[in-house]
Amino acid sequence: MSYKIPLFDLNFDGEEEKAVTEVIRSKWISSGPRTKALEEKFATMLEAEQAVALTNCTVSLHLAMHLIGIQPGDEVICPSLTFVATCNAIRYVNAVPVFADVKSTSDLTMDPADIEGKITPRTRAIVVMHFGGFPCNMDRIMELADRYKLKVIEDACHGPLSEYHGKKLGTIADIGCFSFFSNKNISTGEGGMLLTNNTAYAERARLLRSHGMTSMSYERSKGHSTSYDVVDLGFNYRMDDIRASIGLVQLDKLQADINKRAEIRKLYLERLKNFDGITIPFAQSDAIVSNYIFTIVLKDSTVDKRDEVRGKLAEAGIQTSVHYPAVHRFSIFREFSCSLPLTEYVSDNLITLPMYSRLSEDDIEYIVSNLKRILHD
Ligand SMILES: Cc1ncc(COP(=O)(O)O)c(C=O)c1O
């Protein structure tokens, strides 16, 4: 189905094509100089000491679990209102996901009080997810981590260049994980990054992303190294230079993209002001954020009503989504399930509206007038 207004549109032009062509013509298309340049640029922009480019964010989360030493049976507290990859990473190392609820229908980040209530002697770590690029309460979460000797991983997929008290998201805790999947603020098709200020973590991540080998094929091709040893049980989680070259162009565009999204969010907020029947999460936030998505939560609603509203928006040519179906209700997570009343309500009644930098004022007007019409019917 083709929509008049899609949920997302790529922020691509001739520059990405040019960058890819250059890499192809260079004849080095796997992990090499572009990948290194992307790491350096990302680390500089996000003010982190180390950046390790990877195949995607899912593997970044997986490596993070290894780096902080999560063992089978350890408990890791995580959100349920997130993409399933956040929680799958915990299962990859046979640890136990312990789900924490969100704070409220207007603050969709994890509730530090619920996190604290779920800490047991088996808890080893907390994985936070900065929903839509809006920061979790990191002061409280880092204070809990300090008190209970826990590690903290930031799933910062939604928040490149978003800030919390002057610090970039993904650089506050032990490790930050980012995605460059097509629909993210930075799009490379597939792609991801692991950020850390811990040099030992970064060195091991570099080892683990390439089979635990002590040198990479680019180094060997340049004569920097003629042999290698395998010193750790690693994976193939390497990014390639084709994607890295797209990432470099996307990083140049990131700040302008975010500025544009901030204007779009402002338009949405103005047009939806005083409109009964919905809650706009983070409406009062003045944080510097990426605005990865724009969500609303229907008040006094049900999943059937929400789906009907989405269906009518689709009939008007407006594509929507749901961020997210709650992870603790998926079949594969049933054995770890628990009651999370706010997450369940939000998951059943949230609608993600279109958000991307090329949305026009007329598009916003069209979306909001249709939404109002449908909700007043
Ligand atoms: C919150 C969150 N975590 C993890 C991921 C997984 O990222 P990737 O697709 O790069 O593996 C995504 C991507 O959709 C995400 O939105």
User: For residue 33, what is the domain's CATH number?
Assistant: 3.40.640.10
Tell me, what CATH number does 267's domain have?
3.90.1150.10
Tell whether 2 is covered by a domain: no
Looking at 190, 218, 251, which one is the last position of a domain? Answer: 251
Tell whether 32 is covered by a domain: yes
Q: Is 292 in the pocket of ligand 1 (CB under 6 A)?
A: no
Q: Kind of pairing, strands 192-196 and 350-353?
A: unpaired
Tell whether 45 is covered by a domain: yes
Q: Is 129 in the pocket of ligand 1 (CB under 6 A)?
A: yes
294: phi then psi, degrees, rounded to nearest 5: -120, 120
Cα of 179 from ligand 1 centre, angstroms: 6
What does the pLDDT read at residue 217?
A: 67
Kindly give, in sequence order, each residue whose CB lies less than 8 Å from that of residue 334, ignoring residues fewer than 6 positions away: none
Distance CA 67, CA 81 (A): 24
Based on the domain organization, do 242 and 259 belong to the same domain? no
Based on the domain organization, do 269 and 231 belong to the same domain? no
Q: Which atom of ligand 1 is nearest to the CA of 190?
A: 10
Based on the domain organization, do 227 and 177 belong to the same domain? yes
Cα of 110 from ligand 1 centre, angstroms: 17
Based on the domain organization, do 103 and 200 belong to the same domain? yes
Cα of 230 from ligand 1 centre, angstroms: 29
Based on the domain organization, do 140 and 180 belong to the same domain? yes
| Helices (H) then strands (E): counts for the chain | 12, 12
Based on the domain organization, do 138 and 34 belong to the same domain? yes
Query: With a cut of 50, which residues of the chain have pLDDT below it?
Result: none
Distance CA 250, CA 273 (A): 33
Distances (CA, A) of 122 to 71, 144, 213: 10, 15, 33
Q: Whose CA is closest to 203, among 244, 179, 171, 234?
A: 234
What does the pLDDT read at residue 239?
A: 98
- The alpha carbon of 128 is separated from its chain's Cα centroid by a whole number of angstroms, namely 10
Other C-beta atoms within 10 Å of 361: how many? 11
Q: Which residue's CA is the nearest one to ligand 1's atom 1?
A: 83
What does the pLDDT read at residue 377?
A: 75
| Dihedral-angle region of residue 323 (phi above 0 means left; psi in -120 to 50 means alpha; beta otherwise) | beta
- Counting ligand 1 atoms within 8 A of each CB, the residue from 86, 157, 295 with the most, and so the one to mutate, is 157
pLDDT digits 0-9 by tens, 286-341: 999 999 999 999 999 999 999 999 999 999 999 999 999 999 999 999 999 899 99
Based on the domain organization, do 67 and 117 belong to the same domain? yes
Tell whether 84 is covered by a domain: yes
Q: Is 155 in the pocket of ligand 1 (CB under 6 A)?
A: yes
Kindly give, in sequence order, each residue whose CB lies less than 8 Å from that of residue 299, ignoring residues fewer than 6 positions away: 276, 277, 278, 279
Based on the domain organization, do 267 and 298 belong to the same domain? yes
| Under 8 Å between Cβ of 9 and 182 | no
Residue 128 is part of which domain span? Answer: 14-251
Based on the domain organization, do 317 and 329 belong to the same domain? yes
Cα of 168 from ligand 1 centre, angstroms: 18
SS3 268: helix
What does the pLDDT read at residue 226?
A: 74
Domain count, the chain: 2
pLDDT digits 0-9 by tens, 165-188: 999 999 999 999 999 999 999 999
Tell whether 8 is covered by a domain: no
SS3 230: strand
**Cis? peptide before 268, omega within 30° of 0:** no
What does the pLDDT read at residue 294?
A: 98
The percent of the chain in helix, strand and coil, each rounded to the nearest 5, is 40, 15, 40
Distances (CA, A) of 58 to 7, 15, 254, 273: 22, 27, 22, 37
Q: Which residue's CA is the nearest one to ligand 1's atom 7?
A: 57
Based on the domain organization, do 178 and 283 belong to the same domain? no
Based on the domain organization, do 247 and 259 belong to the same domain? no
Tell whether 4 is covered by a domain: no
Based on the domain organization, do 196 and 267 belong to the same domain? no
DSSP codes joined into one string, 304-323: HHHHHHHHHHHHTTB--B-S
- Strands (DSSP E) along the chain, which ranges? 50-54, 75-79, 96-100, 123-129, 151-155, 163-164, 167-168, 175-179, 192-196, 278-279, 294-298, 350-353
Looking at 203, 221, 251, which one is the last position of a domain? Answer: 251
Kindly give, in sequence order, each residue whose CB lies less than 8 Å from that of residue 269, ignoring residues fewer than 6 positions away: 280, 283
Looking at 200, 227, 251, which one is the last position of a domain? Answer: 251
| Dihedral-angle region of residue 71 (phi above 0 means left; psi in -120 to 50 means alpha; beta otherwise) | beta
DSSP codes joined into one string, 153-215: EEE-TT-TT-EETTEETTSSSSEEEEE-BTTSSS--BS-EEEEES-HHHHHHHHHHTBTTBSS
Q: Kind of pairing, strands 163-164 and 167-168?
A: antiparallel
Tell whether 9 is covered by a domain: no
Cα of 283 from ligand 1 centre, angstroms: 24
Other C-beta atoms within 10 Å of 285: how many? 15
Tell whether 272 is covered by a domain: yes
Distance CA 237, CA 54 (A): 5
